[in-house]
Amino acid sequence: MVDNRFTLYVDSRFTSPFALSVYVALTEKGLAFDTVPVDLAAAENLTGSLAERLPTRRIPTLIHDGFALAESSAITEYLDELFPQVPLYPADPQSRARARQVQAWLRSDLGALRQARPTEGMFYGARGEPLPPEAQAAAAKLIACAQALLPSGASHLFGQWSLADVDLALMLNRLVNHGDPVPEHLRAYVLEQWRRPSVQAWCALSA
């Protein structure tokens, strides 16, 4: 029998989009968990007994019944397989694959935009300079892809909420929060996802 005890290790400033994704997943599924902040600036994840609990020395890391798992997508897929009653991903195989594609793309691409518009701006109000050319190109790519992915007038990528909506909205919110130009329907999509109680619960941690 599975012992449903969870400990989630996150960054101490609560700005990691990957930690947010796992936090939202646990919250949406109604699972009880402890949140343990890790000071990455002090390299707490690299030394001492804490490092021994983090298999890749990275956050987020989830500990479940003695099993340690890192990398946000691996964690959320594990949770969805273990507790399918409240799904994080679409049931249709193609839509589910697309949701995973969206998450993988957001984690591996658009680096210039992530650098120019770090998540600190969303949670602590920091403002950056105007987007440099490489970040402008990344922003244009993000907007074009989001428009292609999100059906016209839709509030969700796949007809109903999935975790990919939160991840996409967070990337778009790098622009919205900063006041960069974003089409109105994408701006409305971001604001709707950001108002979700599970996302607001994460935002409250950095308040």
pLDDT score for 1 = 45
Instruction: Give the pair of three-digit tokens for residue 59.
Output: 């956050």
The CATH number of 6-87 is 3.40.30.10
CATH 3.40.30.10 in the chain, residue ranges? 6-87
pLDDT level of residue 110 (50, 70, 90 thresholds): very high
pLDDT score for 152 = 84
- DSSP 8-state symbol, 70: E
Q: Work out whether strand 61-64 and strand 6-11 pair parallel, antiparallel, or are unpaired.
A: antiparallel
Q: What are phi and psi of 151, to 5 degrees?
A: -60, 150
Q: What is the pTM of this model?
A: 0.93
Cis peptide before 60 (omega within 30 of 0): yes
- Quickly list H helices, the chain: 17-28, 48-53, 72-82, 93-108, 111-116, 120-124, 133-149, 163-176, 184-194, 197-205
pLDDT level of residue 128 (50, 70, 90 thresholds): confident
* CATH of 93-200 among 1.20.1050.10, 3.40.50.720, 3.40.720.10, 3.20.20.80: 1.20.1050.10
d(CA 89, CA 142): 21
Lowest mean pLDDT among 37-46, 98-107, 190-199: 37-46
d(CA 89, CA 97): 9
pLDDT of 4 > 70? The answer is: no
Q: Averaged over 43-58, what is the pLDDT?
A: 81
pLDDT score for 3 = 57
**pLDDT tens digits for range 139-182:** 999 999 999 999 888 999 999 999 999 999 999 999 999 999 99
CATH 1.20.1050.10 in the chain, residue ranges? 93-200
Mean pLDDT over each residue of the chain, to the nearest integer: 92
* Residues 6+ away with beta carbon under 8 Å from 119: 15, 16, 17, 170, 174
The burial class, CB within 10 Å (0-12 / 13-18 / 19+), for 143 is: middle
* Residues 6+ away with beta carbon under 8 Å from 161: 196
Cα–Cα nearest to 156, from 200, 183, 189, 187:
189
